[in-house]
Amino acid sequence: MNNKLTKQFSKMLLFAGSSHPELGQAIAKYIGIKLGDIKLSTFSCGETYAKVNESIRGQEVYIIQTAGSNINDDLMELFIMMDGMKRASAAKINVVIPHFGYARQDKKSEPREPISARLIADLLTAVGVDRVITVDLHADQIQGFFNSPVDHLTALPLFADYFKKKKLKDLVVVAPDAGRVRFAKRLASIIGNNTTLAFMHKSRPRHNVAEVVNIVGEVKDKTVLLVDDMVDTAGSITAGLANLKKHGCKDEIYLATTHPVFSGPAIERLAKAGFNEVIVTDTIPIPKESQFKGLKTLSMAPMIAEAIKRDFLNDSISSLW
């Protein structure tokens, strides 16, 4: 990094919440700065406390806080950090949320349901967010829930580069539902080598339960790459895997997902499912005890760091992908 850029980034204030400190450190290292000094703690009653230990008056700040395994605590900590920084006279508060919590609740599917993704956007706006940087939203329209700018990054280049290097033969990229078809189509196009596309048509009788009704596209005698924005309990993915095998695909099957939520029985299901590899990103930390054979993590830190740098310098971010 040249001296001019070093001087410019020395004015950047980057803070990390407690949800994923490793990602925060990796992003700061890529940019070439140190994380800001902030005290985060929890009272015995469960209340969250946050205090910035340096002056941020008139400064532009970036807060890195993903929605991890304790999503409600992570979001509340983020709101409290933002409120403290606003009251400390920060000029601009930019929030980096690699995994945007409640993203699946982006619309009313039944009467009297909340639209919780909009609620989270409203809460961020009320606290004083100026910009949001996030990765692979469950639904693109969530960007419209904000009146402030949203930089929507994607793990597509990471997955494309990884699988291009593998040079898999007779590959078909499979979307687990219609909502992920566009991502799967772009991925198949970038991988090339005659990679084709298929997708599953499924229904959800209740939360965390999916039934595959049909598969659109040819998977017989194909190497399969399943792609999704997130895997929660892994019920949908493993059910889809069983259905693909019934349709005659090869035993060589890969799974790529941006957000490894991995709740409940997910780890056990994925470990026993028979995937050659499960490729994820580090938008959510995976404890060592939850890792299994065939799991590979690709880091989003360089892309997120580059997006922060370009935003700070008012450069184009879309060219990243």
User: pLDDT tens across 63-104, in order?
Assistant: 999 999 999 999 999 999 999 999 999 999 999 999 999 999
Confidence band (pLDDT; 50, 70, 90) for 210? Answer: low
Is 165 designated active site?
no
Nearest to 260 by CA among 252, 251, 269: 269
Is 70 exceeded by the pLDDT of residue 157? yes
Helix, strand, coil fractions of the chain, as percent rounded to 5? 35, 25, 40
Instruction: Tell me what pLDDT residue 319 has.
Output: 81
Q: Could you give the C-alpha distances from 165 to 98, 110, 136, in angstroms and in order?
A: 26, 44, 23
| Helix or strand (DSSP H, E) at 83 | helix 71-87
Is 80 exceeded by the pLDDT of residue 288? yes
Is 80 exceeded by the pLDDT of residue 221? yes
- Select which of 202, 222, 250, 309 is catalytic: 202
Where are the strands (E) in 23-149, listed by range? Answer: 38-42, 48-52, 60-64, 92-97, 131-135
Is 60 exceeded by the pLDDT of residue 4? no
The partner residues of 38 in beta bridges, in order of sequence, read 52
In the chain, % of residues over pLDDT 70: 93
Quote the CA–CA distance of 144 and 14 in Å, as a whole number. Answer: 26
Instruction: Tell me what pLDDT residue 178 has.
Output: 85
Q: Report the pLDDT averaged over residues 100-126.
A: 96
- For 227, half-sphere exposure in the C-beta direction (CA atoms, 13 angstrom radius) is 28
Q: Report the pLDDT averaged over residues 192-207.
A: 81
Is 50 exceeded by the pLDDT of residue 281? yes
Confidence band (pLDDT; 50, 70, 90) for 203? Answer: low
SS3 227: strand
Quote the CA–CA distance of 212 and 229 in Å, as a whole number. Answer: 18
Domains of the chain, CATH where assigned: 3-154+301-320 (3.40.50.2020), 156-298 (3.40.50.2020)
> What phi and psi values does residue 57 have, to the nearest 5 degrees?
-60, 125
**What's the farthest any 2 CA atoms get from each other in the chain?**
62
